[in-house]
């Protein structure tokens, strides 16, 4: 835990100095929200627009975090740390970045799509958090996988989007239910899927990450 | 080392082969480095010196053959990593962080007390640079910080890849002094270099990487014309 | 090896001929239903290939033996091939019977997404060659199979139109024997062809690796 805090603290400090990732991710998210809103802005389009935005924001940001770390990975691998901790820290940083994107794009979805977002905020937080964790787990694993590959900016969405599609389907379903005013038990299946997805992919990524960074 | 006392080896490399996608870089390296010794690995660019260092630094695993550290074949890797310091050719420092922040971070990875970072700042003459961001440092200063980073946890084995490249005379002398001081404390030092004279100044023995293998270890002065000629031939190839 | 391939092709000819000429015409769907004799074996074969990818990937990461990697890589190519055949034959069948090329049914969606995941696998192989690419691909191969039940589950949350399984059921197949026999023949034929092609591909890859080693490693 101490090590994870150290690694995440370092990442956040670096990001605070440069603000590269959050500004790129955030700007893309705002643009996507506007493009999607300009083409179709009814309340019924809101859930899909939100999750398309988050998924694309994630693919952009998550390639970047590992690219930034690439030259320093040697130092982390050299230290007496479990590789799983390096994954955990990176995934946590990525997830925090995604949360920032989710938060700053919310007002736009509220303004362009539906004001219901504001009244249902506490319930909405549940799929946003669960979905964000899954996106961060898969994105961090794949992001680490392809740091050395050519065309990695194109490769991450190609690899990540099909794998996270079930998550997006469930998250959109849950978000739709919440915005339609359904009680939480009515979207239990969707939330369950999100939770199972998170558990499976956080565990698998944690275990597989060792093979990602080895030489 | 004479007498009957059993030899302590910091590193034993046996029959080491490392291939990248079928292209063998190391073709059977045997090397034993005594604890406390300073050894310079000479060789042409692309001869496999860096690959060898990465293997010795636990960053890479052999295609065939073995590396044993500190005479403990079964020690877990994290334990071994704790006793090794590496200065690779590229800087591992974060450019956007200050010298002090960098050292604190790397000290944290080894679970060192903050006081150790403070003492290292003084020990390696970095106090005046402590609050500067690494981005604004000169190459020589950066190398000094990298060295401090690698020595922070008092490793028993220090590995340096081409540490003298790009340093001015003053920085090179400072580096030599630091390495000599570490060696005097009993730290084993393995470095790669182009420069046999520099190795001599360090009091290092040398070995030459030729055709993916290492020659016998010999004193720096003992490099004979035949080996030098073979080395330069390989460099031109 | 060659025997296997010829056996597979011969079986396939028998199976297809039987399906087209001897098997009865289905009452409601008519002739298009005969696509089943290709469609069902394709999808079974595709999933078998993906399981081979999974097994090969796990063993490769665990044992670091390039033989497992060659197996996984070859199986992934064939998996994509058979998934493509499944999707194509399914689309044609669907157009004829449901009047739509595509529908967001759980099984269709799952198969389509798997196609994308394993295309990604092949892209990684193309763009990140060598040991690193092999490890990356192995991880994708594992993650892809882990994802199968979740994709399927999520697609059920969408909705389902596809017929329920008619062959693999706990209470025995629901097909009449006249249809079951050619289907089983074809299924065996497809699996034999898969095995034959797999062996062929693995051998090719092995030769290629040996060649690369001889060329790069010489001197």
Mean model confidence pLDDT for chain A: 89
Q: In chain B, what are the domain boundaries? A: 7-83+156-220, 90-154
User: Of B65, B77, B72, which Cα lies nearest the Cα of B31?
Assistant: B65
Please check whether residue A130 touches C, CB under 8 A: no
Check CB contact under 8 Å for A193 and C153.
yes
Q: How far is A175 from chain C (nearest CA, A)?
A: 14
Which value does ipTM take for this structure?
0.88
Supply the pLDDT for residue C164.
Answer: 62
Give the chain C residue whose CA is nearest to the CA of A207. C139
Average pLDDT, integer, range B84-113:
92
Please check whether residue B176 touches A, CB under 8 A: no
Chain B contact probe: residue of C131, C207, C214 with most B CBs at under 10 A = C131
- DSSP conformational letter for B27: E
Chain A contact probe: residue of B108, B110, B161 with most A CBs at under 10 A = B108
User: How far is A8 from B105, CA to CA, in rounded Å?
Assistant: 11
Please check whether residue A189 touches C, CB under 8 A: yes
Residues C74-108: pLDDT tens digits? 999 999 999 999 999 999 998 888 888 888 888 88
| Side-chain-facing half-sphere of A13: CA atoms under 13 Å | 16
Write down which chains contact chain C via at least 3 CB pairs under 8 A.
A, B
Give the chain C residue whose CA is nearest to the CA of B18. C217
User: How far is B109 from B89, CA to CA, in rounded Å?
Assistant: 21
- Indicate the residue of C131, C138, C147 with minimum beta-carbon distance to A163: C147
Residue A165 has pLDDT above 80, yes or no: yes
Residue C218 has pLDDT above 80, yes or no: no
Residue B141 has pLDDT above 60, yes or no: yes
Domain B7-83+156-220 is classified in which CATH homologous superfamily? Answer: P-loop containing nucleotide triphosphate hydrolases (3.40.50.300)
Q: Are B43 and B196 in contact (CB under 8 A)?
A: no
Check CB contact under 8 Å for A6 and B110.
no
Query: What are the C-alpha distances in Å from B225 to residues B43, B221, B222, B228, B232?
Result: 14, 11, 9, 5, 11
Residue C166 has pLDDT above 70, yes or no: no
Supply the pLDDT for residue B2.
Answer: 44
Chain C contact probe: residue of A154, A211, A214 with most C CBs at under 10 A = A211
Residue C219 has pLDDT above 50, yes or no: no
- Cα angle for residues A86, A88, A93 (degrees, 5° grid): 95
Q: For every residue of B72-127, which 3-state class applies, written as one string?
A: CCCCCHHHHHHCEEEECCCCCCCCCCEHHHHHHHHHHHCCCCHHHHHHHHHHCCCH
Q: Are B83 and B156 in contact (CB under 8 A)?
A: yes
Supply the Cα-derived Rg of chain A in whole angstroms: 17
Lowest model confidence (mean pLDDT) among A4-8, B169-173, B229-233: B229-233
Lowest model confidence (mean pLDDT) among B216-220, C42-46, C148-152: B216-220
- Using beta carbons and an 8 Å cutoff, which residues of C are at the interface with A? 61, 113-114, 116-117, 119-120, 123-124, 127-128, 131-133, 135-136, 138-140, 142-144, 146-147, 150-151, 153-155, 157-158
Supply the pLDDT for residue C31.
Answer: 79
Between residues A152 and B102, the one the model is more confident about = B102
Domain span at residue A201 reads: 2-212
Supply the pLDDT for residue C171.
Answer: 62
Residues 6+ apart with CB under 8 A from C178: C22, C23, C24
CA A128 to chain centre: 9
Mean model confidence pLDDT for chain C: 86
Please check whether residue A204 touches C, CB under 8 A: yes
Lowest model confidence (mean pLDDT) among B190-194, C66-70, C158-162: C158-162
Residue B155 has pLDDT above 90, yes or no: yes
The torsion defined by the Cα of C150, C152, C157 and C163, in degrees rounded to 10, comes to -160
Supply the pLDDT for residue B166.
Answer: 82
Check CB contact under 8 Å for A145 and C150.
no
Average pLDDT, integer, range B90-103:
92
Lowest model confidence (mean pLDDT) among B79-83, B107-111, C162-166, C176-180: C162-166
Please check whether residue B34 touches A, CB under 8 A: no
Please check whether residue B96 touches A, CB under 8 A: yes
Supply the pLDDT for residue B1.
Answer: 43
Contacts of B24 in chain C (CB under 8 A): 216-217
Supply the pLDDT for residue C162.
Answer: 57
Check CB contact under 8 Å for B78 and A80.
yes
Give the chain B residue whose CA is nearest to the CA of A3. B109
DSSP A95-164: HHHHHHHHHHHHHHHHHHT-THHHHTHHHHHHHHHHHHHHHHHHHHHHHHHTTTSTTHHHHHHHHHHHHH
User: How far is A200 from A202, CA to CA, in rounded Å?
Assistant: 6
- Indicate the residue of A149, A190, A200 with minimum beta-carbon distance to C150: A200
Q: Report H helices in C64-166.
A: 66-97, 106-127, 130-158
Residues A176-215: pLDDT tens digits? 999 988 888 888 889 999 999 999 999 999 999 888 877 6
Q: How far is A136 from chain B (nearest CA, A)?
A: 23
Supply the pLDDT for residue B171.
Answer: 87
Residues C174-208: pLDDT tens digits? 778 888 888 888 899 999 999 999 999 999 999 98
């Amino acid at each position: 835990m101490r090590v994870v805090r150290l690694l995440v603290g370092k990442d956040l400090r670096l990001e605070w100095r440069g603000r590269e990732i959050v500004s790129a991710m955030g700007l893309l998210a705002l643009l996507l929200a506007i493009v999607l809103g300009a083409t179709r802005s009814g309340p019924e389009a809101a859930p899909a627009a939100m999750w398309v935005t988050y998924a694309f924001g994630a693919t952009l940001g998550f390639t970047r975090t590992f690219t930034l770390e690439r030259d320093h990975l040697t130092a982390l691998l050299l230290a007496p740390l479990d590789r799983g901790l390096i994954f955990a820290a990176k995934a946590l940083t990525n997830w925090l970045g995604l949360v920032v994107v989710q938060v700053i794009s919310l007002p736009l979805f509220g303004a362009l799509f539906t004001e219901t977002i504001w009244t249902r905020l506490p319930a909405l937080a549940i799929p946003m958090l669960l979905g964000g964790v899954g996106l961060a787990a898969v994105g961090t694993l794949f992001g680490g996988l392809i740091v050395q590959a050519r065309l990695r900016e194109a490769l991450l969405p190609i690899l990540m989007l099909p794998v996270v599609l079930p998550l997006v389907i469930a998250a959109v379903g849950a978000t739709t239910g919440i915005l339609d005013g359904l009680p939480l038990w009515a979207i239990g299946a969707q939330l369950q899927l999100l939770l199972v997805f998170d558990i499976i992919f956080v565990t698998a990524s944690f275990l597989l990450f060792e093979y990602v960074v080895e030489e | 080392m004479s007498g009957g006392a059993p030899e302590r080896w910091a590193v034993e490399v046996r029959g080491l082969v490392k291939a990248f996608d079928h292209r063998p870089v190391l073709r059977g390296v045997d090397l034993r480095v005594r604890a406390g010794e300073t050894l310079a690995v000479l060789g042409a660019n692309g001869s496999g010196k860096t690959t060898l260092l990465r293997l010795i630094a636990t960053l890479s695993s052999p295609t065939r053959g073995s590396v044993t550290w500190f005479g403990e074949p079964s020690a877990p890797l994290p334990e071994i990593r704790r006793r090794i310091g590496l200065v690779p050719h590229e800087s591992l420092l974060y450019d956007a962080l200050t010298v002090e922040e960098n050292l604190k971070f790397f000290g944290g990875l080894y679970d060192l007390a903050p006081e150790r970072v403070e003492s290292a700042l003084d020990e390696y003459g970095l106090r005046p640079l402590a609050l500067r961001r690494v981005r604004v440092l000169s190459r020589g200063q950066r190398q000094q910080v990298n060295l401090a980073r690698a020595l922070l946890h008092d490793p028993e084995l220090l590995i340096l890849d081409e540490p003298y490249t790009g340093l001015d005379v003053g920085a090179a002398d400072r580096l030599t002094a630091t390495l000599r001081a570490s060696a005097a404390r009993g730290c084993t030092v393995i470095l790669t270099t182009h420069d046999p004279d520099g190795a001599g100044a360090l009091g290092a023995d040398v070995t030459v990487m030729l055709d993916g293998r290492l020659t016998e270890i010999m004193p720096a002065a003992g490099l004979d014309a035949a080996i030098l000629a073979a080395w330069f031939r390989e460099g031109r190839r | 090896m060659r025997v296997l391939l010829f056996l597979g092709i011969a079986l396939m000819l028998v199976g297809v001929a039987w399906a087209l000429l001897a098997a009865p015409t289905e009452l409601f769907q008519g002739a298009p239903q005969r696509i089943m004799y290709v469609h069902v074996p394709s999808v079974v074969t595709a999933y078998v290939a993906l399981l081979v990818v999974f097994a090969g990937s796990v063993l490769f990461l665990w044992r670091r033996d390039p033989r497992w990697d060659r197996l996984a890589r070859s199986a992934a190519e064939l998996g994509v091939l058979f998934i493509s055949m499944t999707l194509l034959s399914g689309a044609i069948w669907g157009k004829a019977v449901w009047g739509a090329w595509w529908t967001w049914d759980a099984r269709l969606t799952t198969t389509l997404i798997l196609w994308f995941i394993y295309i990604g696998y092949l892209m990684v192989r193309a763009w990140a060659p060598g040991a690193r690419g092999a490890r990356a691909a192995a991880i994708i191969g594992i993650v892809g199979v882990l994802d199968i039940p979740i994709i399927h589950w999520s697609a059920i949350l969408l909705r389902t139109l596809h017929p329920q399984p008619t062959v693999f059921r706990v209470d025995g197949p629901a097909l009449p024997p006249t249809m079951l026999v050619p289907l089983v023949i074809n299924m065996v034929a497809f699996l034999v062809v898969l095995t034959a092609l797999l062996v062929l591909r693995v051998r090719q890859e092995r030769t290629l690796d040996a060649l690369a080693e001889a060329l790069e490693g010489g001197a």
